[in-house]
Amino acid sequence: MSQTQQAVTYTDAQLHARACVRCGTEDGPLERNGYVETETRPGVRLPWAVVACPDHLGAER
Ligand SMILES: [Zn+2]
């Protein structure tokens, strides 16, 4: 098994800024928390503007 890729998966709600990017809560207040990238195919990365709950703000860049 390759360990080069971090196994990070996000839910549809997280990618569409409807849930905290860290814990997945949909309870507000959710604030913009930068971007995450998902790799849909090798070499194809998509940036997503994500949000976080107060406990997890600042966790992403
Ligand atoms: Zn959170």
Q: Which residue has the higher pLDDT, 8 or 20?
A: 20
Please tell me the distance between residue 14's alpha carbon and the centre of ligand 1 in angstroms.
10
Q: Does residue 5 form part of some domain?
A: no
pLDDT at position 18 over 90: yes
Number of folded domains in the chain? 1
Task: Please tell me the number of Cα atoms within 13 Å of 28 on its side-chain side.
Answer: 5
Q: Does residue 59 form part of some domain?
A: no
Q: Does residue 7 form part of some domain?
A: no
Please tell me the distance between residue 26's alpha carbon and the centre of ligand 1 in angstroms.
9
What size, in residues, is the chain? 61
- Span 18-44, mean pLDDT? 93
Q: Model pTM greater than 0.85?
A: no
Please tell me the distance between residue 5's alpha carbon and the centre of ligand 1 in angstroms.
23
Q: Does residue 42 form part of some domain?
A: yes
Q: Are 35 and 50 in contact (CB under 8 A)?
A: yes
Q: Which residues contact 16 (CB under 8 A, 6 or more apart)?
A: 48
Please tell me the distance between residue 20's alpha carbon and the centre of ligand 1 in angstroms.
5
Q: Does residue 18 form part of some domain?
A: yes
Please tell me the distance between residue 3's alpha carbon and the centre of ligand 1 in angstroms.
26
Domain range holding 24? 12-52
Using alpha carbons, select from 36, 17, 35 the residue that is nearest to residue 26: 17
Q: Does residue 40 form part of some domain?
A: yes
Given this model, what pLDDT does residue 35 score? 94
